[in-house]
Amino acid sequence: MQTPEARTLAGIARNPAVAAHLFTLMALGAWAIAATQVPPIALSGPWTTLKALGAFVTDPNQLAHTAYSLLHVGVAIFISFFAGSALAFLAHYVPVTALMVHGRISPFLNAFSGIGWSLLALLWMGATHTTVIFSISMVLIPFALVNMKEGLATLDRDLMEAGRSFTRSGLKRFAMLTVPSLYPFMFATFRISFGVAWKVALTAELIGGGSGFGYLFDLARQDYRTPILFVVILLIIVFVYVTDRFGFEPMQRRLQRHYGGR
């Protein structure tokens, strides 16, 4: 039952969801108006961007670059996850290495600049896929390491003790108790890594690669093809938003209900 106030336009606009949709429409309107006021090189309007998007998604060459970017991000996330987790496990199971991992390796990787890795990787390996994947992985490793460290610190010791009374096999305990307890943290690692990876992937591809969105970005920048810049940005925003909102968010809620933690 709607209140009289809610029935008025102002009342409807005060509904957070409606207000958000109105905001989106206003932002699109502002974008369209701004595009008519400045040269096309500076701002590609919504309609021009939409047309460029149509051409983009039907061009096999552009789609190949999209696939390369996905490949770079996907492989880097997995490499950084395994490298970061391996370091976190090493520090946890061999405590004498904890200072080395958390006191030396982690702060160093955490403080090293992303462009630094890209430029150095270019120097070492040339413009290749390896360069791009390496640069993204090096930026992501500390995120995985810190997250998995947090996860290992919250392991239920009583549960681990109980596991010991059931089996002597460390491998079995690890696979059946430790790893499932870490699921929420593993998931959080993937979620954070996914967001950060797209932030640095383009830079890595622009500096050190001959393929992917970053490479397209560089070409578009040099030729002043602003609509392509907007298409790439739009695709990344939509891709990251949709994956996070409709993939990661519901999955994380389910994991939280099942395992607790984050």
Partner 1 sequence: MAAAERALAKDPAPPLGRRVLSRVLADGLVVAVVLGWWAMAKTLPASVLPTPFEVAEQVWLLLTDKVYLGHTAASIVRVLLSVLLALAIGTVLALLPAGLPWASDIVHRRIQPFLNSFPSIGWAILAVIWFRVSDFTAIFVQVAILIPFCLINISAGLKELDREAIEMARSFTRSRIKVFFKITLPLLLPYLVGALRIAYGVAWKIAIVSELFGTGTGIGYLMGEAQQSAKPALLYACCFAIVLIFFAGEKLVLDPLSRRVRR
Q: By CB under 8 A, is residue 95 in contact with partner 1?
A: yes
Q: By CB under 8 A, is residue 27 in contact with partner 1?
A: yes
Give the one residue of 111, 165, 168, 171 binding partner 1; rule: CB under 8 A.
Answer: 111
Give the one residue of 183, 244, 252, 259 binding partner 1; rule: CB under 8 A.
Answer: 244
Q: By CB under 8 A, is residue 14 in contact with partner 1?
A: yes
- Looking at beta carbons only, is 179 or 238 nearer to partner 1? 238
Give the one residue of 70, 71, 155, 240 binding partner 1; rule: CB under 8 A.
Answer: 240
Decide if 136 contacts 208 (C-beta within 8 A). Answer: no
- Looking at beta carbons only, is 164 or 221 nearer to partner 1? 221
Residue 99 CB, shortest distance to partner 1, in Å, is 4
Give the one residue of 31, 50, 70, 97 binding partner 1; rule: CB under 8 A.
Answer: 97
Residue 140 CB, shortest distance to partner 1, in Å, is 11
The Cβ of residue 77 has, within 10 Å, a number of other Cβ atoms equal to 23
Residue 245 CB, shortest distance to partner 1, in Å, is 7
- Looking at beta carbons only, is 42 or 175 nearer to partner 1? 42
End-to-end alpha carbon distance in the chain? 37
- Looking at beta carbons only, is 21 or 258 nearer to partner 1? 21
Q: By CB under 8 A, is residue 37 in contact with partner 1?
A: no
Q: By CB under 8 A, is residue 113 in contact with partner 1?
A: yes
Burial 154-189 (b: 16+ CB within 10 A, else e): eeeeeeeeebeeeeeeeeebeeebbeebbebbbbbb
Which residues of the chain form contacts with partner 1 (CB under 8 A)?
13-17, 19-20, 23-24, 27, 41-43, 95-100, 103-105, 107-108, 110-116, 119-120, 122-124, 139, 157, 195-196, 198-203, 206, 213-214, 217, 221, 226, 229, 232-233, 236-237, 239-241, 244-245
